[in-house]
Amino acid sequence: MPEIALSQAPAHIRMGSSIGQSLTRREGVLKTTGTARFAADNHPPGMVYAVLAVSSIARGRVTSLDVAAAKAHSGVIEVMTPANTPRLAQDPDAKLHPFMFRIEVLQNDTVRYVNQPIAVVVAETLEAATEGALLLAPAYETEPARTGLDSNDSFIPQAVGAGGPAEETHGDVDAGLAAASARIEAVYETPAQYHNAMEPHSVVAAWDGNTLSLDMPTQAMAMTQGRIAGLFGIAPEDIHIRSPFLGGGFGSKALGSGPQVLGIIAARLVGRPVKLVLRREQMFGPVGHRAPTRQTMRLGTDDQGALTALSHHVKTATSTFDDFIEPAANASHALYASPAIKTSHEAVRLDTGTPLFMRAPGEAPGSAALESAIDEMALACGMDPLAFRLKNYAEVEPMSGKPFSSKALRQCYEQGAERFGWAARPLAPRQMRDDAGMLVGWGMGTAVFPALMFQGHARAVLRQDGTGVVEIGAHDMGQGAWTALAQIAADALGLDPDQTEFRSGTSDLPDAGIAGGSAHTATAGAAIHDAGGDVIAKLADLATGDQRSPLFGANNAGVIARGGRLYRRDDEARSESYTDILTRAGHAEIEGRGTGASDPAALSAYAMYAHGAVFAEVKVDPDFGQVRVTRLVGAFAAGTVVNPRMVRSQYYGGMIWGVSFALHEHAVMDKRTGRPMNPNLAEYHVPVNADVPNIEAILVEERDVHVNALGIKGVGEIGITGTAGAIANAVWHATGVRVRRFPITLDQLIGA
Amino acid sequence: MGLSITLTINGARRAITLDDPRVTLLDLLRERLDLTGTKKGCDRGQCGACTVLLDGRRVNSCLALALSHDGADIVTIEGVAPGGQLHPVQAAFIAHDGFQCGFCTPGQIMSAIGMIREGQNWGSGAGDDPERVREAMSGNLCRCGAYVGITEAVLDAQRAIAEASRRDAA
Amino acid sequence: MNRFEYARPATLAEAVAAGAVPGAAYLAGGTNLMDLMKGGVMHPGHLVDISRLPGLDRIEWLSDGGVRIGALVRNADLAHETKFARQFPAVAEALLSGASAQLRNAATVGGNLLQRTRCAYFYDTASACNKRNPGAGCDAVGGENRLHAILGWSEHCIATNPSDFCVPLTALDAVVELQGPAGRRAIPLETFHLLPGSTPERETMMQQGELITAVCLPAEAARFAGNARYLKIRERTSYAFAVVSAAAALRLDGETIVEARIALGGVALKPWRPRTAEAMLAGARPDPAVFNRAAETALAGAKASGDNAFKIELARRIVVRALALAAAGTPERVPALPASPFAGAITHA
């Protein structure tokens, strides 16, 4: 563990050995014994059940509901429709900032997408509420659904993703293409995808006057608290959210969904605690999705295989009533050196729920297209795909010219290729078969994901008994926050982990920012580190200013905090325990506060990304086109590795999402009605265990002194990037067939 | 209407009166008996999160009508580690990081325990062939993608259980 | 799920009487019925729980060498019954390729025969479906029908039968035993399921109140044990319905095919038995050219019902491959990935 400077008092340092340790998950026993309490596992006294009724049309209005039939069903307490739903303090269609999405919470009878909530049935039992919702038998006034990317006029969005420009240009792409000695142009398509966390969106809501108690999974407690406070006209601090565990989020649980708000309204209406859990099919509408894309790639190279131009144009879709534009073209910003790069987006408005951030938003589909196109370009140049990527290696961020804060991509290529055995790959496709006669193909892709930070806050306490407490309202959706942040917390206080109490997962703790953008460990970790620095500095002041302390007068030299003691930096023989310092000073405890956020100076000086290289082997049945990914090797460099075990799991998970993207996931939409026809886990395929027989992740060492004090980049999303393209390229290498429509299905390979 | 059944749940016999014939075993456990370790991911037999042992066999409790199983012996995730000593499968899941968010985990663990038992009963289990383990565990979806750790954990736990039973036999 | 009257009759006679009431449905493993009830696709007013009827959970070996499989035998138990798996390996392989281990532990033999289509428009109660609502029309026609039928469909219904188990059973001349208000009868599985025609709501030969008591395989079916396979194309390595599947069984005398059996799954509303193709193979040598001709014949009447023309070619190829695999001999043990093309060596044309 390198020495880490305190931000407040650079003379002091802290040394701990927790960061970098492969600890098992601190909540492991809870999760393996069924005692980890997820939101829907709560059952306050008097609780009743709410079940949504959702629309089967994509556009129009509800003209009737058989409320009487539902109410007549034994056990039904109330049917909430626009006729009796309490009005909210704030228009749910208000959009005060880009992270505020318009929601349907029964304020009117309009239907704007399939599976939109149109009523809520509350009953004494889950069985009665479920059947009550079915008995409503809605009638509609239906307007034609606008579906598919061809369906209507497109527009240039004002912003894409979290607020980036729709078009960005560097150099002259047309000139670069005109001057090229080889060129490719290809169109790639990616389908609508749904997050489908294993845990359905849920809420257990209980009102006590104007205070509200909520068990609900959220990736952004403070923002969710603010959103709900606004809707109900109450103070955020009167809302207490418990979200200790999320059963997966992937972006769909970031901001408080309409259905969860409906559960809260229902609790108010019936005056009892309410549990509302989405049914799986209801997750195909009101809780976000990844929009479909059609991506046009134009690339040119000179006679040495160096890119002369890279153009990435994306046509995608958003809802008719709100904007989220999948920023897929931005995947081409940072990876390959080219004198001319242009990225652009256009969108159409469809009668769907609003798309939303979904694990690697933009990067995932953008990378699939870019990495496929790079492969096609390499082929056109007659070059090995790895050699081609190295030829076009970006030494600086191509569009801005900024240096990278760190970039160990070359090492990723080297270590991944070595482990995979890439050197033995024949250049031409359809050259390899296994003993059983299956076509074998090898492909690769480059992975990249920006190293982002939001803003987060933390509180750190040192107690007279020598223990410490770190508090932060962080979110564990599986990435390992309970463990990794606790490791950072121990080091931040110069304590052993078992002396450090780590509190997290509730909204009364300091706001940790959003668990998204692969930024949570960096953001929350930096906040914890900063808070630890603050309290250690206070402790050091107590000691160095006290003549009775062996550390008296050491303030200029600084101290080292380690193992519950402070040491003089220039003379480690002189030290004192935290307990002694606090006891003498008469403090039961002292407190520090800290903030984690990007350093604007570093941001303007450096381009910050995590990188990786993914190598895939696929086998394809020569007659049937059935594909299996038989081997995946990913090598990733993402700065400081807080916990190798958990980081590796994040890479595995991301790579499996890449498998899913390449071969499986696909919301089948009926073009006539806009209705998802596979809103279930039997036919909306995500990989099963047998789909991923062999995955390896290599953690490539990388030290970054610019991204944040701890050198942490994100690892949660990068694994998808690179992987989908690597698999597509491997399928081509196996079969000679270039499939440009994802997922790669066997009907597109038949005849291969 | 009172519908009375008796179930043995995690070793304890329980007389249960239902006011509704529609209650599934899963909803009975979760909503009426406060055994919330068993999870509902799809409610349609498509994800495996609700896996329990029913008369010793792993099944999807979401598709089991509680009334139909009067007299049955049920083991849920809460009954796997009595007295706090982790079952070898649970310990192996922790050691191999066989989960991330943890939501599918109770179902994965119950499925693994059921799978190991099937191998003993039928004499044709997955054995130490990882490919057979992966196939046998494919009824449990994990959206986080923890399959690598799950497979390693199942193989490891299976070895530990076999070793323990050899020791016991000796 | 609608409210229903629940009854658990103690005897077969009581079950038949209870099941004869209009709106009654039999509950056994529940893996399909509960799913359909939760989706609002089926809403029986009476559930007749037959899961404990005595005597129906046994595998009986008949004196002539045939086998009688009780309707309540669980899919997993049948697949893992050593003698059964040895005598009817394609059936065991098909069973183990279906659904998941959990579902196979619950699902019964009789229920498997009655599982209903996975057509999305059948499941989606807002869509028109002639099965759910006779005369309503079929929204699968002109809809998302990439995986729909290529044989035996009508403009009233283009759905397919999702069963794996029924495919080799049909190839091996299985017979379904029924008990009903009018007594016992037996129907060859090949004619048990009905093609849609103009009455897709009629799915099998069963009458209200009739109950499957057993499925029988004749002794002759075991003669194929050395050369019998089931092969299933899927869009996920496991836990997925077939895009198309095929069972192939051969009786060989040296280098000559004495008798061949073929059945296709995922292509029609019933397991498809191409008898003309089977007949062509009798007396021929088991070589690729012969298998190709048989496959052409098997699919001669196939016609796309939508965006699924690829399934015709896929089905043709799976017949060829399944025959080749059967000719190569039944493996010692059901492969690690049952029925998967990735299960092992392909003896490729």
Q: Is A160 helix (H, G, I), strand (E, B) or coil?
A: strand
Nearest to B153 by CA among B79, B90, B67: B90
Asked if residue B102 and residue B71 are part of one domain, the reply reads no
Q: What is the pLDDT of residue A3?
A: 46
One-letter-per-residue 3-state SS of A540-552: HHHHHCCCCCCCC
What is the Cα–Cα distance from A184 to A700, expressed in whole angstroms? 33
Asked if residue B117 and residue B54 are part of one domain, the reply reads no
**Token pair belonging to C102:** 């959990």
C55 CB neighbour count, 10 Å cutoff: 12
Which chains lie within 8 Å of chain A at 3 or more CB pairs, if any? B, C
Average pLDDT over residues B61-73: 98
- Domain tally for chain A? 3
Contact B39, B78 (CB under 8 A): no
**CB nearest A36 (choices: B41, B102, B139):** B102
Residue B118 is part of which domain span?
A: 82-169
B95: part of which helix (H) or strand (E)? helix B88-95
> Under CATH, what is the fold of the domain C5-51?
3.30.43
A175: part of which helix (H) or strand (E)? helix A173-179
Asked if residue A687 and residue A731 are part of one domain, the reply reads yes
pLDDT digits (tens, 9 = 90+) for A323-367: 999 999 999 999 999 999 999 999 999 999 999 999 999 999 999
> Would you call A656 and B145 a contact, using CB atoms and an 8 Å cutoff?
yes
> Would you call B141 and A681 a contact, using CB atoms and an 8 Å cutoff?
yes
CA dihedral (B127, B132, B138, B144) positive or negative? positive
What is the Cα–Cα distance from A282 to A680, expressed in whole angstroms? 9
What is the Cα–Cα distance from A518 to A6, expressed in whole angstroms? 24
- Residue of chain B nearest C103, judged by CA positions: B59
* Best of C37, C46, C48, C105 to mutate (most B CBs within 10 Å, chain B): C105
Token pair 């491997």 is at which residue?
A: A730
Asked if residue B90 and residue B164 are part of one domain, the reply reads yes
Contact B25, B65 (CB under 8 A): yes
Q: Please enumerate residues of B whose Cβ is less than 8 A from a Cβ of C.
A: 3, 20-22, 24, 43-45, 48, 51, 54, 57-60, 62-65, 67-68, 111, 114-115, 118, 122-124, 129, 131-132, 134-136, 138-140
Q: Is B113 helix (H, G, I), strand (E, B) or coil?
A: helix
Question: Would A175 be classed as within a structural domain?
Answer: no
Q: What is the pLDDT of residue C126?
A: 97
pLDDT digits (tens, 9 = 90+) for C167-217: 999 999 999 999 999 999 999 999 999 999 999 999 999 999 899 999 999
Asked if residue B101 and residue B54 are part of one domain, the reply reads no
Which of residues A547, A568, A597 is at a domain's end? A597
Asked if residue A420 and residue A376 are part of one domain, the reply reads yes
Task: Give the burial class of B165: count Cβ atoms within 10 A of its Cβ; 0-12 exposed, 13-18 middle, 19 or more buried.
Answer: exposed
Nearest to A354 by CA among A316, A329, A304, A319: A319
Q: What is the pLDDT of residue A152?
A: 67
Q: How far is CA A244 from CA A217, A646, C200, in A?
A: 8, 18, 50
| CATH number assigned to the domain comprising residue A51 | 3.90.1170.50
Tell me how many degrees the CA angle A664-A670-A674 measures, rounded to the nearest 5.
Answer: 110
Q: What are phi and psi of A339, to 5 degrees?
A: -65, -20
> Would you call B21 and C333 a contact, using CB atoms and an 8 Å cutoff?
no
Question: Would A288 be classed as within a structural domain?
Answer: no
**CB nearest A652 (choices: B95, B101, B148):** B148
Q: What are phi and psi of A728, to 5 degrees?
A: -60, -40
Average pLDDT over residues B166-170: 84
- Residue of chain A nearest C120, judged by CA positions: A677
A555: part of which helix (H) or strand (E)? none
**CB nearest C144 (choices: A74, A670, A687):** A670
Beta strands per DSSP E along A337-377: 341-350
Q: How far is CA C341 from CA A626, C263, C272, in A?
A: 8, 17, 20
Question: Would A483 be classed as within a structural domain?
Answer: yes
Strand order in the sheet with C5-7: C5-7, C46-49, C24-27
Contact B71, B77 (CB under 8 A): no
Strand order in the sheet with B51-54: B12-18, B3-9, B73-75, B51-54, B57-60
What is the Cα–Cα distance from A373 to A740, expressed in whole angstroms? 10
| CATH number assigned to the domain comprising residue B8 | 3.10.20.30
Pairing state between β A456-463 and C24-27 = unpaired
Which of residues B63, B79, B95 is at a domain's end? B79
pLDDT under 50: residue ranges of chain C: 346-349
Asked if residue A55 and residue A27 are part of one domain, the reply reads no
Helix ranges, A478-585 (H)? 481-493, 520-544, 578-585
Q: What is the pLDDT of residue A14?
A: 81
Contact A459, A510 (CB under 8 A): yes
Question: Would A608 be classed as within a structural domain?
Answer: yes
Residue A391 is part of which domain span?
A: 293-452+604-748
What is the Cα–Cα distance from A72 to A277, expressed in whole angstroms? 23
Asked if residue A709 and residue A582 are part of one domain, the reply reads no
Side-chain-facing half-sphere of C208: CA atoms under 13 Å: 8
By annotation, the residues of A acting in catalysis are 717
Q: How far is CA A713 from CA A693, A709, B39, C175, in A?
A: 28, 11, 33, 64
Asked if residue A427 and residue A305 are part of one domain, the reply reads yes
Q: Is A479 helix (H, G, I), strand (E, B) or coil?
A: coil
Asked if residue B71 and residue B92 are part of one domain, the reply reads no
Q: Which residues of B touch A689 (CB under 8 A)?
A: 133-135, 137-138, 140, 142, 147, 150-151
Residue B168 has pLDDT above 90, yes or no: no
> Would you call A130 and C239 a contact, using CB atoms and an 8 Å cutoff?
no
What is the Cα–Cα distance from A560 to A582, expressed in whole angstroms? 17
Question: Would A189 be classed as within a structural domain?
Answer: no
Question: Would A168 be classed as within a structural domain?
Answer: no
What is the Cα–Cα distance from A136 to A113, expressed in whole angstroms? 18
Pairing state between β A13-14 and A76-80 = unpaired
Task: Report the gap between the CA of B8 and the closest CA in chain A (Å).
Answer: 19
Question: Would A180 be classed as within a structural domain?
Answer: no
What is the Cα–Cα distance from A699 to A648, expressed in whole angstroms? 7
Q: How far is CA A657 from CA A195, A358, A374, A541, A664, in A?
A: 10, 11, 21, 50, 9
Which of residues B33, B55, B79 is at a domain's end? B79
Asked if residue A272 and residue A130 are part of one domain, the reply reads yes
Q: What is the ipTM of this complex?
A: 0.98
Asked if residue A589 and residue A684 are part of one domain, the reply reads no
A600: part of which helix (H) or strand (E)? helix A600-605
What is the Cα–Cα distance from A530 to A238, expressed in whole angstroms? 28
Please count the helices (runs of H) and the strands (runs of E) in chain B.
5, 5
Which of residues B59, B79, B99 is at a domain's end? B79
Which chains lie within 8 Å of chain B at 3 or more CB pairs, if any? A, C
Angle between helix B147-169 and helix B105-122 axes, rounded to 10 deg: 40
- Residue of chain C nearest B3, judged by CA positions: C6
Q: What are phi and psi of C266, to 5 degrees?
A: 75, 10
Asked if residue A689 and residue A582 are part of one domain, the reply reads no
Q: What is the pLDDT of residue A606?
A: 98
Which of residues A536, A570, A597 is at a domain's end? A597
Residues 6+ apart with CB under 8 A from A21: A487, A643
Q: Which residues of C touch A745 (CB under 8 A)?
A: 235
**Token pair belonging to C260:** 């061949």
Asked if residue B102 and residue B52 are part of one domain, the reply reads no
One-letter-per-residue 3-state SS of chain C: CCCCEEECCCCHHHHHHHHCCCCEEEECCCCCHHHHHHCCCCCCCEEEECCCCCCCCCEEECCCCCEEEECCCEHHHHHHCHHHHHHCHHHHHHHHHCCCHHHHHHCEHHHHHCCCCCCHHHHCCCCCCCCCCCCCCCCCCCCCCCCCCCCCCECCECCCCCCCCHHHHHHCCCEEEEEECCEEEEEEHHHHECCCCCCCCCCECCCCCCEEEEEEECHHHHHHHHHEEEEEECCCCCCCCCCEEEEEEEEEECCEEEEEEEEEECCCCCCECCHHHHHHHCCCCCCHHHHHHHHHHHCCCCCCCCCCCHHHHHHHHHHHHHHHHHHHCCCCCCCCCCCCHHHCCCCCC
What is the Cα–Cα distance from A234 to A239, expressed in whole angstroms? 8
pLDDT digits (tens, 9 = 90+) for B71-126: 999 999 999 998 889 999 999 999 999 999 999 999 999 999 999 999 888 776 78
**Token pair belonging to A414:** 């080297």
CA dihedral (B53, B58, B59, B61) positive or negative? positive
Asked if residue A424 and residue A390 are part of one domain, the reply reads yes
Asked if residue A486 and residue A625 are part of one domain, the reply reads no
- Asked if the bond preceding A743 is cis, omega within 30° of 0, the reply is yes
| CATH number assigned to the domain comprising residue B99 | 1.10.150.120
CATH dotted code for C226-340: 3.30.390.50
**CB nearest B65 (choices: C27, C102, C336):** C27
Chain A neighbours among C 18-47 (CB < 8 Å)? Answer: 40
Residues 6+ apart with CB under 8 A from B141: A198, A681, A686, A688, B41, B46, B47, B48, B49, B104
- Domain tally for chain B? 2
Question: Would A732 be classed as within a structural domain?
Answer: yes
Q: What is the pLDDT of residue C6?
A: 97
**CB nearest C336 (choices: B3, B48, B135):** B135
What is the Cα–Cα distance from A212 to A206, expressed in whole angstroms? 6
Which of residues A597, A612, A641 is at a domain's end? A597
Asked if residue B158 and residue B136 are part of one domain, the reply reads yes
The b/e string for B77-102 (b: 16+ C-beta within 10 A; e otherwise) is bbbbbeeeebbbbbbbbbbbbbbbbb
Contact A366, A329 (CB under 8 A): yes
- Residue of chain A nearest B148, judged by CA positions: A695
A311: part of which helix (H) or strand (E)? strand A307-319
What is the Cα–Cα distance from A461 to A536, expressed in whole angstroms? 9
Domain parsing of chain C, residue ranges: 5-51, 226-340
Asked if residue B100 and residue B45 are part of one domain, the reply reads no
Asked if residue B87 and residue B73 are part of one domain, the reply reads no
**CB nearest A623 (choices: C121, C234, C321):** C321
Task: Give the burial class of A593: count Cβ atoms within 10 A of its Cβ; 0-12 exposed, 13-18 middle, 19 or more buried.
Answer: middle
Q: Which residues of C touch B124 (CB under 8 A)?
A: 80, 82, 333-334
Asked if residue B58 and residue B23 are part of one domain, the reply reads yes
Task: Report the gap between the CA of B138 and the closest CA in chain A (Å).
Answer: 5
Asked if residue A334 and residue A385 are part of one domain, the reply reads yes
Q: Which residues of A touch B35 (CB under 8 A)?
A: 34
pLDDT digits (tens, 9 = 90+) for A695-737: 999 999 999 999 999 999 999 999 999 999 999 999 999 999 9
Asked if residue A662 and residue A584 are part of one domain, the reply reads no
Asked if residue B148 and residue B162 are part of one domain, the reply reads yes
Q: Which residues of B touch A246 (CB under 8 A)?
A: 101
pLDDT under 50: residue ranges of chain A: 1-10, 752
Q: What is the pLDDT of residue B165?
A: 87
* Confidence band, pLDDT 50/70/90 cuts, at residue B127: confident
Strand order in the sheet with C244-253: C228-233, C244-253, C256-265
Token pair 């390979």 is at which residue?
A: A749
